[in-house]
Amino acid sequence: MKIKYIQNLNNFTGTIIIPVFETNIKSIVPIEYHGCSVYSQVFYGKKDTHYLVEKYDCTHIFIGLGKSIDYKSLKTIFRRTSSKFKDNFSTNVAINIPDEYDSNQVEAMFSGLYLGTYDLGHFKKKVLHHFLDQEFELQVLSKNNFENTIVRALKIAKSQLEVFSLVDLPSNVVTPQYLANWTIEAGKKYNFDVEVFGRQKSEEVGLHAFLAVGKGSEREPQFIIMDYNPENAKNHIGLVGKGITFDTGGLNIKTAGMVHMKCDMAGGAAVLGAMQLIADLKLQTRVTAIVPACENAVDSKSFLPSDVISSYHGSSIEIIDTDAEGRLILADGLSYLIKNYKPQTVVDIATLTGSSVATLGYECAALFTNNDEILKALQNSGDATGERLWQLPLWDCYKSDIESDIAAVKNYSGKPIAGAISAAKFLEYFTDNHSSWAHLDIAGVAFVDDEFAKTKHATAFGVHLITNFIENL
């Protein structure tokens, strides 16, 4: 999609998108645009409403924004517009940017429009959205120049669209090898380094916890390492994302909801999408990221409850529950990142526990950190991007939940309470008390039911959040 600025709508025919802030249901003054008068009895700009007017060989789509609007809501409104009215966008399309808009609102609007091109029917015959045509021109009316903002908005959306596909595609397509290949190609395109350890190299390196999880699968695990290192980098940030491409629960097999477990790599996908976006935006921060990718399957070779395994950290781990596997691969990812790359700040992101969903529902992710500066920065980025976070405690009184009689630590407390916290304490153990580490449990926000599909699907939660966080450090 190309962007073309126009000064007016003289001789224009096609579809015009007109965002409107709310007036008043009793207003006697109609909303006027391009010769169209819309009276308050039928439309007055109430949030999440729209009104169509056919006039002058044009389809005018008036979009209600409400009296004020946040970033996430604005993005959702324009995603809905792009998706709902795609048949109206087959020819010329123009969009009016209200004079009151700032750059953040323009970013949300154009990101939303591009996200509306997503179609979950990957294996159906379908016609691509016209916005995806490289030659398609979206004509923009604005008194201000938002060219750089629009370019940025489209880059954000493109990275999120990649994550939608990675998470929504089935596990027989998105295997650990698929993720490795995707990352290699992205590294070439966006200019960051990629190194991948297969089973043999991971064994040589000592990634024993990571390998234990993947033992039951015929699909070879892939330990994916990325490094974006621009000249004159200001900071060095480390990222780790959980990359379980399918989670049966292992021998502690899941008794419900297994059909959705292709999404258990959503944290890893968020890291991959963030790396694409960070490099695409050419941020002046070094970012080293790791996605341990494997499948937790059931087989005669699967690791067992009561096993004691080793780890890259060198600490032994008692396996209480094979369905608490994500924290095992993250443990090796965190240990390897911190020991070999020594980033100033480390953030891991994972669909880790149902406990975080029980606590916070589907509105925000759980945030764990003992660093107040990182806490505030992450929450500010979450609020700014609509990917919100809420802190849960990391108090030492929860250490007993991971204490083992036979090994250094155990991977599951065995208690039906505080599961997200004990998982975070387990990860904290493998950071060697890193002074600037945060854990994001995104189990409730990575794969959801909403208006854009009939079934659960990906949100790309974390891509924009992480990028905004790094950008503002």
Q: Which residues are catalytic?
A: 254, 327
In 10 A of CB 384, how many CB atoms?
Answer: 18
Of the candidates 124, 227, 112, 220, the one whose C-alpha atom is nearest the C-alpha of residue 168 is 124
Contact between 377 and 386 under an 8 Å Cβ cutoff? The reply is no
> CA distances (Å), 459 to each of 201, 273, 448, in order?
33, 12, 7
Tokens of residue 77, six digits? 């409104």
In sequence order, the 6+-apart residues with CB closer than 8 A to the CB of 411 are: 317, 318, 319, 320, 321, 324, 327, 328, 402, 426
> CA distances (Å), 225 to each of 25, 74, 275, 369, in order?
56, 35, 11, 24
Tokens of residue 120, six digits? 């979950």
* CA angle in degrees (0–180, nearest 5) for 314-177-189: 105
Cite the DSSP H helix spans in 300-459. Answer: 326-341, 354-360, 372-385, 419-429
Q: What are phi and psi of 209, to 5 degrees?
A: -70, -45
Alpha-carbon torsion (196, 199, 200, 206), positive or negative:
positive
Contact between 359 and 420 under an 8 Å Cβ cutoff? The reply is yes
Contact between 14 and 147 under an 8 Å Cβ cutoff? The reply is no
Q: Which amino acid is at 183?
A: T
> CA distances (Å), 263 to each of 3, 85, 359, in order?
34, 29, 20
Whole-angstrom Cα Rg for the chain: 24
Between CA 290 and CA 329 the distance in angstroms is 10
- H/E stretch holding 394 reads none
Question: 3-state DSSP: the chain helix, strand, coil percent, rounded to 5?
Answer: 35, 20, 40
Contact between 343 and 237 under an 8 Å Cβ cutoff? The reply is yes
